[in-house]
């Protein structure tokens, strides 16, 4: 029997926490702890070891960005995209909560290791589905959405890019897959473009994530841009042809 999904809610608004707790509870998802600021969230994660953390970006004392870095920056974790070792199997997935779409805080959260973000007016059905999605190791954001964030905020050659793992560990085919993945192509689209079976594409993606120590496709898209493998200008040219 599958163990209940365990969630930690971190938000300084009582109404938000109450509403989310009721929604998740009705879906059979356990809320094991709540936090009103980032510092409480970090401590609660250590104490309760949840599967997923729903983390507000803007909170007093310590914001959600810093809390996410601390939660995902321990031994076996990645404290920046592509840095550190492969994520520990017991490490929680973090979903950021925000009232803004595609702002710089969301990008910073993804770069810190979050698996996606949700707007606070999310529907009950999507909230539950999102929590289940990231628990399985999938990213919550489609590559195309991530690409738009990266195009706005990524800076190839910046200090963040330096912390990425060396792309030299990838084979020529894996570099090709990563470049196309960063352009927003799904596994099915990648398979069609490369004339490969979709199962083969999934294997390539899994190997890319493992070699680079990345959590999911969101971090892979960010890595492709910040290391200069794909550039915004290149993508724009491709869309115009």
158: exposed, middle or buried (Cβ count in 10 Å: 0-12, 13-18, 19+): exposed
Q: The domain spanning residue 39 has which CATH number? A: 3.40.50.2300
pLDDT of residue 77: 42
In order of 69, 102, 132, 134, the CA distances from 117 in angstroms are: 15, 10, 14, 11
Both 52 and 132 in a single domain? Answer: yes
Both 33 and 105 in a single domain? Answer: yes
Both 231 and 186 in a single domain? Answer: yes
- CA–CA separation, 189 and 92 (whole Å): 30
Q: What range defines the domain where residue 104 resides?
A: 6-140
Is the residue at 116 inside a domain? yes
User: pLDDT: is 40 or 103 the higher one?
Assistant: 40
Is the residue at 1 inside a domain? no
Domain boundary among 97, 121, 140: 140
Domain boundary among 140, 167, 195: 140
Is the residue at 203 inside a domain? yes
- Taking only the tens place, the pLDDT of each residue in 31-44 is 999 999 999 999 99
- The residue among 58, 124, 45 whose CA lies nearest residue 96 is 58
Sheet hosting strand 93-98, strand order edge to edge: 30-35, 6-10, 52-56, 93-98, 116-119
Lowest mean pLDDT among 25-29, 173-177, 223-227: 223-227
Both 63 and 81 in a single domain? Answer: yes
pLDDT of residue 93: 92
Both 25 and 105 in a single domain? Answer: yes
Angle at 20 between CA 140 and CA 148, to 5 degrees: 25
pLDDT of residue 88: 53
Both 131 and 155 in a single domain? Answer: no
Is the residue at 14 inside a domain? yes
Would you say residue 86 has pLDDT above 50?
no
Both 153 and 67 in a single domain? Answer: no
- Taking only the tens place, the pLDDT of each residue in 133-181 is 888 877 777 666 776 777 777 665 555 444 455 788 999 999 999 999 8
Mean pLDDT calculated for residue range 179-190: 86
User: pLDDT: is 148 or 114 the higher one?
Assistant: 114
User: pLDDT: is 139 or 10 the higher one?
Assistant: 10
Both 112 and 168 in a single domain? Answer: no
Tell me what the pLDDT averaged over the chain comes to.
Answer: 81
Both 15 and 134 in a single domain? Answer: yes
Mean pLDDT calculated for residue range 214-234: 77
Q: The domain spanning residue 187 has which CATH number? A: 1.10.10.10
Both 187 and 228 in a single domain? Answer: yes
Both 169 and 189 in a single domain? Answer: yes
In order of 13, 23, 27, the CA distances from 125 in angstroms are: 21, 8, 9
User: pLDDT: is 215 or 95 the higher one?
Assistant: 95
Give me the number of domains the chain comprises.
2
pLDDT confidence band for 82 (50 / 70 / 90): very low
Is the residue at 229 inside a domain? yes
Domain boundary among 71, 105, 140: 140
pLDDT of residue 204: 95
């Amino acid at each position: 029997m599958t163990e209940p999904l365990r969630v930690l809610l971190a938000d300084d608004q009582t109404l938000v926490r109450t509403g989310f707790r009721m929604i998740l509870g009705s879906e059979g998802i356990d809320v094991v702890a709540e936090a009103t600021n980032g510092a409480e969230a970090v401590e609660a994660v250590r104490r309760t070891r949840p599967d997923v953390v729903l983390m507000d970006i803007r909170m007093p004392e310590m914001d959600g960005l810093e809390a996410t870095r601390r939660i995902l920056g321990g031994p076996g974790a990645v404290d920046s995209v592509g840095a550190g070792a492969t994520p520990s199997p017991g490490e929680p997935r973090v979903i950021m909560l925000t009232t803004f779409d595609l702002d710089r805080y969301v990008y910073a959260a993804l770069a810190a290791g979050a698996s996606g973000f949700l707007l606070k007016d999310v529907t009950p059905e999507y909230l539950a589905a999102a929590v289940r999605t990231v628990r399985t190791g999938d990213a919550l954001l489609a590559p195309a959405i991530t690409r738009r964030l990266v195009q706005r905020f990524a800076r190839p050659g910046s200090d963040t890019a330096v912390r990425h793992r060396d792309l030299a560990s990838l084979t020529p085919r894996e570099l090709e897959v990563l470049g196309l993945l960063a352009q927003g192509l799904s596994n099915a689209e990648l398979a069609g473009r490369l004339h490969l079976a979709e199962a083969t594409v999934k294997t390539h993606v899994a190997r890319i994530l493992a070699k680079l120590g990345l959590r999911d496709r969101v971090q892979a898209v960010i890595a492709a841009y910040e290391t200069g493998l794909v550039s915004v200008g290149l993508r724009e040219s491709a869309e115009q042809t």
